[in-house]
Structure 1
Amino acid sequence: MELPLVSRARAHGDRTAVVDAGGAHTYAELLDASARVASALLAGGGDLGEARVCFLVPPSFEYAAVQWGVWRAGGIAVPLAVSHPPAELEYAIGDADASIVIAHPHVAETLRPLAQAHGARFVTTDGALAASPSPLPAVDEGRRAMMLYTSGTTGRPKGVVWTHANLRAQLEMLTGAWGWRAEDRTLLVLPLHHVHGIVNVLSCALWNGATCEVHAKFDADAVWARIESRELTVFMAVPTVYGRLIAAWEAAPEERRERMSSGCREMRLMVSGSAALPVSTLERWRAISGHTLLERYGMTEIGMALSNPLHGERRPGSVGMPLPGVEVRLVDEEGGGVEAGTPGEIEVRGPGVFLEYWRRPQATAEAFRDGRWFRTGDVAVVEGGYHRILGRRSVDIIKTGGFKVSALEIEEVLRTHPAVAECAVVGVADEEWGERVCAAVELRGGSALTLDQLQPWARERLAPYKLPRALVAVDALPRNAMGKVTKPDVAKLFA
């Protein structure tokens, strides 16, 4: 039995699958390269039998070949982050109990000792791609396919296990919801150890016979150059990327701005996700590009669950409605349903929801209500059928003075202050208020702002109990590899 992703690729043999710094690579070349990788991993054996294969390969054709090679050999693909230091790489290798570690030659000397320390076989991408093809095993879709590690902001990172069936459910769902087709050409500027880059961009493109251009690192000028070419049809990114593209557009000469905006208007779809998209960013991007960014909601454990429509109203500040085949409900702290317009925790079930946390049965059990509904930890409210995210229950819902307030809502207001370029609001323990509302702000060039100056301005726009009770100005907010602000690190600024 051949995996659907592989069998579908055979129908697109001569079409271009991946374009990277090394040139264009067809689907036929991807099938050949991944078969060679699979044979190298098998090393004469018949089936990896769900052995974990950790790999550190920059975004490229080689990345796709290695990922597919692990799957075709019957292994579990565990992509490592190119941005992580050795200690974090070693943690993932050890926690996954990896049997094999694959590394690009540029990082081989970093990975080799880590693999040896855990008794894993070490392979370079060059060596794997040079192997001779051999018979490959049949791989059932019910088997484990991929393990992605959580960010670990509230504890040690956990391995989130997806089956091949989970992956297929996501790809079929997103193909229909976002209109993927073989004629599409997308540009990947996201890291490939998260769902956003792996599933929403690379795998969706390859599932549909489309072309995925890969940039190993984000560069605003290079992205704009590709948009100006008018060859791209789909672009997906995080809010931070859109912010940098806006800054590059504003810094460009008028003649080039016209080409940039014209290139955007030739594209059929532009998507934002992985973090809350400020309404101000959405509106500015719409003015520049003519696109109302499609916002959606998902996470490592569930893939995508909610989305604004491809055709129809896209509401600023909203992540839309449940995707086809996904059930979503909002519940109170006791697990009871809430009325429309009342905040509640998002719970999700469907064929794309992950199988388990790797070797953590208790954590897996606690993550599901009644063994069926995954408890996301995110709080939302439904307004007119559209979901609006209020934030993480653990870090974005602040209990202050007897009220529950959304840090994300306060941030939206603070971003409209003329001195504020970006901000993050957190709750810090306080004897009087329960939690103190604290704001960290990145100031616009040459601006200054004090708490005494901010509070009168904010009082006109927010109920008094929502006012920040502490303020700190920073050169840059702490962010992770996806450009997402890390709230636990922001809270440390007020310790």
Structure 2
Amino acid sequence: MDLPLISRAQENPEKIAIVTPENAFTYGDLLEISRQIATCLLSNSQDLQEQRVAFAIPSGFEYVAVQWGVWRAGGIAVPLCTSHPRPELEHVIYDSQASIIIAHPNFEPILLSIAQEKGCRFLLTTEILSTQETSLPEISSDRRALILYTSGTTGKPKGVVTTHQNIQAQVTSLIDAWGWTSDDKILHVLPLHHIHGIINLLTCALWSGAQCHILPKFDAEAVWTRIGQGNLTLFMAVPTIYVKLITAWETLPPEQQKALSKACSQLRLMVSGSAALPLQVLKKWQDISGHFLLERYGMTEIGMALSNPLNGQRMAGYVGQLLPGVEVRLVDEQGQLVPSGTPGEIQVKSPGVFLEYWQKPEATAKAFQDGWFCTGDLAVVEQGNYRILGRLSVDIIKTGGYKVSALEIEETLRTHPDIKDCAVVGVEDEEWGQRVCGALVLHIGSHLTLESLRNWAKERLAVYKIPTKIVTLDDLPRNAMGKVTKPKVVELF
């Protein structure tokens, strides 16, 4: 038996699946190229048996073909962020114990040397097509399919493992809730190492037999141009992207604004997620596009759990109600259910909830309470709708749709020769949700500018983890126990 995603594609091989700025590819193309990639990955074995395959490929057809090829060969896909510096890539490759690395030629220099150090098999996308005829393994749906890395409260990102079954549950729940059909055409501008881009957009589109129009990266002008060309039905993004689209729209002449607003109004649905949507962004977007953005709530470990309705009243500042197949409860610090109108931690149970943190049984066990996944997010139910109040931990920062660990950033900053100590916090921000800010204590006689710190950090941290504002202090604010008081640090900004 093929995986359901593959079987569904086989029903309409002539239909367009992926559209890039250069080309259009059918489901048949995707099946054939992914088969050739799977054959190459298998080499002379019959089944990769859940070997981890890490890959760095720009967004586009090649990315999708490799992901499907890994799955069809029986491997676990470990997508790498194409903008990450070497230490971040090393962490994912080493932690996942990847045995194969696939790279687009753009990323050959950095990934080839990591592969040589680690003794991994290394393949370029230009050399992974095999014309051999070979039978591919049968993959059961309870097999591990994907490892995505997400920041927890403790230091470095952990690998979240989902099975093919988990992915199917996540996807079918969204297709049901958001009315996906094979006639849909979605514009994809999100990163493809993150659940939002991989599951909510790409996999939902391909499961539905729809078209996925992929831009290699987000560019406000390119997005408006594509929307202006018409025939799209769906768009999903993070609040930061909507802010940038609004800014770009505002610079255009009135005639062009009018034409783009009209093109926007032709879409059937526009969704915002991965971070809280500021009210004025929601209103401004509604003025421009005619769309009251659909807000929803989810995370890497659970897929999506809550959503405003496709049809029916959406409430500003709320993430709606339960998605199909999902159970949610709110509990207090003792793990007891809270009454309606009282804030509590969101806990989730559903077939879409992840299997485990990769090779971290203690962290996995700690993340569950009586079979419920503990999200660490605080919410309240009002008029039957959920409103997110924030994270239980001050050490998790939500910025531009990414969840980052303040502790991980602090550990890295402390390795800077001029920094004696530091505290990193998230400060509320209209565009980013939260802005990463750092309070620094420097060694005597040292001087550090934001620009020089950022240049230094770009070699070590993903760009969205690097502080955008800093203050220097003689000492960090602390409580009687000597613990840094993060709320006081936030006040400094």
Could you tell me how far apart the structure 2 residues matched to 1:308 and 1:147 are? 28
Question: Does 1:383 pair with 2:382?
Answer: yes
* Contact 2:153 2:395 (8 Å CA) reproduced: no
2:434 maps to which residue?
none
Query: 1:340 corresponds to which letter in structure 2?
Result: S
Residues 366-407 of structure 1: per-residue CA shift (max 9 Å, x gap): 00002x10000000010011000000110299xxxxxxxxx9
Deviates more, 1:3-12 or 1:132-141: 132-141
Percent identical residues = 56
2:477 maps to which residue?
none
2:322 maps to which residue?
322
Query: 1:105 corresponds to which letter in structure 2?
Result: P
Counterparts of 1:461-480 in structure 2 under 5 Å?
A: none
Residues 128-180 of structure 1: per-residue CA shift (max 9 Å, x gap): 13553421000000000000001356411100000000000011111110011
Query: 1:380 corresponds to which letter in structure 2?
Result: A
* Contact 1:238 1:482 (8 Å CA) reproduced: no
2:292 maps to which residue?
292
1:223 maps to which residue?
223
What is the CA-CA distance between 1:483 and the residue it aligns to? 6.7
Query: 2:135 corresponds to which letter in structure 1?
Result: P
Query: 2:45 corresponds to which letter in structure 1?
Result: G
Question: Does 1:354 pair with 2:354?
Answer: yes
* Contact 2:14 2:26 (8 Å CA) reproduced: yes
* Contact 1:35 1:69 (8 Å CA) reproduced: yes
Query: 2:391 corresponds to which letter in structure 1?
Result: R
| Secondary structure of 2:128's aligned partner | helix
Could you tell me how far apart the structure 2 residues matched to 1:442 and 1:485 are? 18
2:52 maps to which residue?
52
C-alpha change, 1:438 and 1:395, in structure 2 (3 Å) is closer
Question: Does 1:258 pair with 2:243?
Answer: no
Could you tell me how far apart the structure 2 residues matched to 1:379 and 1:322 are? 16
Could you tell me how far apart the structure 2 residues matched to 1:153 and 1:108 are? 32
1:115 maps to which residue?
115
Could you tell me how far apart the structure 1 residues matched to 2:123 and 2:427 are? 47
C-alpha change, 1:482 and 1:266, in structure 2 (3 Å) is farther
What is the CA-CA distance between 1:38 and the residue it aligns to? 0.4
| Secondary structure of 1:129's aligned partner | coil
* Contact 1:238 1:483 (8 Å CA) reproduced: no
TM-score, normalised via structure 1 length: 0.82
* Contact 1:96 1:358 (8 Å CA) reproduced: yes
Could you tell me how far apart the structure 1 residues matched to 2:278 and 2:429 are? 14
Query: 1:257 corresponds to which letter in structure 2?
Result: Q
Counterparts of 1:20-419 in structure 2 under 5 Å?
A: 20-152=20-152, 154-370=154-370, 372-395=371-394
Unmatched segments (≥5 aa) in structure 2: 399-405, 407-424, 432-449, 472-485
| Secondary structure of 1:217's aligned partner | coil
1:6 maps to which residue?
6
* Contact 1:275 1:484 (8 Å CA) reproduced: no
C-alpha change, 1:489 and 1:296, in structure 2 (3 Å) is farther
Could you tell me how far apart the structure 1 residues matched to 2:206 and 2:12 are? 10
| Secondary structure of 1:240's aligned partner | helix
* Contact 1:19 1:214 (8 Å CA) reproduced: yes
Could you tell me how far apart the structure 2 residues matched to 1:486 and 1:80 are? 22
What is the CA-CA distance between 1:442 and the residue it aligns to? 8.0
C-alpha change, 1:195 and 1:487, in structure 2 (3 Å) is farther
Total equivalences in the alignment:
429
* Contact 1:380 1:389 (8 Å CA) reproduced: yes
Residues 194-214 of structure 1: per-residue CA shift (max 9 Å, x gap): 000000001110001111011
Could you tell me how far apart the structure 2 residues matched to 1:481 and 1:119 are? 25
| Secondary structure of 2:250's aligned partner | helix
What is the CA-CA distance between 1:330 and the residue it aligns to? 0.4
Query: 1:374 corresponds to which letter in structure 2?
Result: F
C-alpha change, 1:334 and 1:299, in structure 2 (3 Å) is same
C-alpha change, 1:64 and 1:264, in structure 2 (3 Å) is same
| RMSD, aligned CA | 2.9
Residues 21-41 of structure 1: per-residue CA shift (max 9 Å, x gap): 330000000000100110110
Could you tell me how far apart the structure 1 residues matched to 2:463 and 2:271 are? 15
* Contact 1:191 1:482 (8 Å CA) reproduced: no
Unmatched segments (≥5 aa) in structure 1: 398-406, 409-425, 427-436, 444-473
* Contact 2:238 2:273 (8 Å CA) reproduced: yes
What is the CA-CA distance between 1:187 and the residue it aligns to? 0.7
What is the CA-CA distance between 1:228 and the residue it aligns to? 1.1
| Secondary structure of 2:25's aligned partner | strand
| Secondary structure of 1:319's aligned partner | coil
TM-score, normalised via structure 2 length: 0.82
